[in-house]
Amino acid sequence: MIAASVPMMVRLPVWRARLAVALLLAAFLVLAGRSLYLQSMHTEFLQGKGEARYSRVLEVPATRGRVVDRNGDALAISTPVKSVWAIPDDVNATPAQLKSLASLLSLDPRELSRKLSDAEREFVYLKRQIPPEAAARVAELAIPGIHQQNEYRRYYPGGETMAHVIGFTGVDDVGQEGIELAQQAVLAGTAGSRRVIKDRLGRVVEDVESIRAAQDGRDLSLSIDSKIQNLAFGALKAAVEAHKAKAGAIVVLDVRTGEVLALANLPTYNPNNRARLTGAQLRNRVMTDTFEPGSTLKPFTIGLAIETGRITPQTMIQTAPGALTIGTYTIHDAHADGKAGGAMSVAQVIQKSSNVGAAKIALSMPREEMYDMFKRVGFGAAPRLGFPGEAVGRVREAKTWRPVEQATMAYGHGISVSLIQLARAYTVFARDGELAPLSLLKTGVAAEGKRVFSPEVARALRDMLESAVQPGGTAPRARIVGWRVGGKTGTAHKQENGGYAAHKYVSSFVGFAPVSDPRLVIAVMLDEPSAGQYYGGQVAAPVFSQVMQGALRLLGAPYDAPLSPIEMPGEGDEAKENT
């Protein structure tokens, strides 16, 4: 008997089918509502998410402005370079490719592997600012995930000669020292931007639009004259080496315009290669270092006394017996005249650099008048050149001066100045009593000065300062052929551990020429000359002479003295300078 096969029929409840349809419909409505919501209410959000996968905004670097000297010669220029960067996750290279890449980038292979193994970083620089030829060889490797970008690197044709004037920029082309830092806003310009489309390997496949055009930095024309700068640097370097000085500095000013024509320091550095740069090399001593100026301050005290009618150049000052005791402190003279007894004129006080004579003249005046005069010639205030680290110096309030301090300030002790302040102060004598404003940028026009002394007093001081460089003065080595020169030596013990070091000196000379119509002021300073000679007339005055003669020739200044050779003094023939 064959059993009949009866199919089993299962009937589901109607409500369950309806529930399933309802749930599917609800889900569809939710998705449709969400889609409508996002596309109508959050359009920008979705577009941003989409564009983030292919659209990029790239910075368009601005070209940094050039720095040129007053004659248009380049002192700082930007050259195009490449920087190599990577997306670590995208890098796919063979060991041989990585070895070649490390060699081209001058990287240790282990350092390169470390950078590329950092999977947490989406972007890493492998090498900044490589030459275009090296970048081309990197591109030839065609390694996925390795990319390049255009940048600029600064090049400084003047090298170590111009280092303390120009300074340098960092790897991001931002000024770090000197003019590069002081004029960063002018030189840098403003970077632009553009929108591009990139593929998954980071390659630009389409340039969409320019968002903001780059604005290149402005060129700067400095007051510096490269020829005079080279002359000053060479003379200073030779003197530092010859006298085994710890450091040296020199600055050359144009009397008429107040422009800085040269500024040099030693030690120095090469801004194109800063691998072994030290703090001592970076110091712009002309601007940042202060020192006691010594006898270079005597003309200011004497000028004030003449201006106020207390003395004349012919007034006789008793300096015998070559010493002056104030309380427990004794001021000494090194010259023979005072020790032999007798008096000397005010003009001879300058010529022989008498401490006793300067101190007696200072003590004849109220201390407030001296303080005011020091402030009016720019001591105790930054020269306002806009240069990084300009020193203010130190001039204590007059009410704190004791008589001995007033006396020693007359010959440059108890007061501190920078070399640029001292050079600027001497423009008072060169400009018929006016203090010149200074500029590191080319102006080419006569500067309006500030009256300190009357023209008659300034000219009288010029004559006295000329006598200081004649035979019998403290600086006959400052004389030059063809032009009359005036100036003053300074030799001061260095301050150390709250007192004065017995055998460490700062030696200086400040002067101007031609005396008949001054064109330049030059100030020279040598720190700790240690080869035996240390008087300013011995170590600093010859630097002044060499630079002044060369600079006046370059400027075509008219002669105001015979062109006959000058006989330089032998050992012991020149007057000793007081310290």
CB 358 within 8 A of CB 302: yes
Distant-in-sequence, close-in-space partners of 381: CB < 8 Å, separation ≥ 6: 375, 392, 393
Element (H, E) at 195: strand 192-198
Q: Where are the beta strands (DSSP E) in 30-170?
A: 55-60, 67-68, 74-86, 124-130, 146-155, 168-169
The neighbour count for residue 502, using CB atoms within 10 Å, is 9
Alpha-carbon distance of 376 to 424, in angstroms, equals: 11
Distant-in-sequence, close-in-space partners of 223: CB < 8 Å, separation ≥ 6: 70, 254, 257, 259, 260, 261, 439, 440, 441, 442, 443
Alpha-carbon distance of 287 to 276, in angstroms, equals: 23
CB 548 within 8 A of CB 480: yes
Nearest residue to 422 via CA among 578, 535, 300: 300
Alpha-carbon distance of 61 to 46, in angstroms, equals: 30
**Alpha carbon distances (Å) from 293 to 35, 478, 501, 577:** 82, 18, 15, 13
Please tell me the chain's helix, strand, coil percentages from 3-state DSSP, rounded to the nearest 5.
35, 25, 40
Catalytic residue among 78, 223, 226, 295, which?
295
CB 356 within 8 A of CB 297: no
Q: Where are the beta strands (DSSP E) in 18-104?
A: 55-60, 67-68, 74-86
For residue 385, the one-letter residue type is L
Tokens of 259: 């422009």
Pairing of strands 220-221, 67-68: parallel
CB 541 within 8 A of CB 495: no
Q: DSSP code of 215?
A: B
**Alpha carbon distances (Å) from 53 to 186, 211, 348, 433:** 37, 19, 85, 71
Alpha-carbon distance of 88 to 452, in angstroms, equals: 68
Tell me if residue 210 is catalytic. Answer: no
CB 222 within 8 A of CB 441: yes
Nearest residue to 540 via CA among 490, 465, 482, 577: 490
Alpha-carbon distance of 426 to 524, in angstroms, equals: 13
Q: DSSP code of 10?
A: -
| Residues labelled catalytic | 295
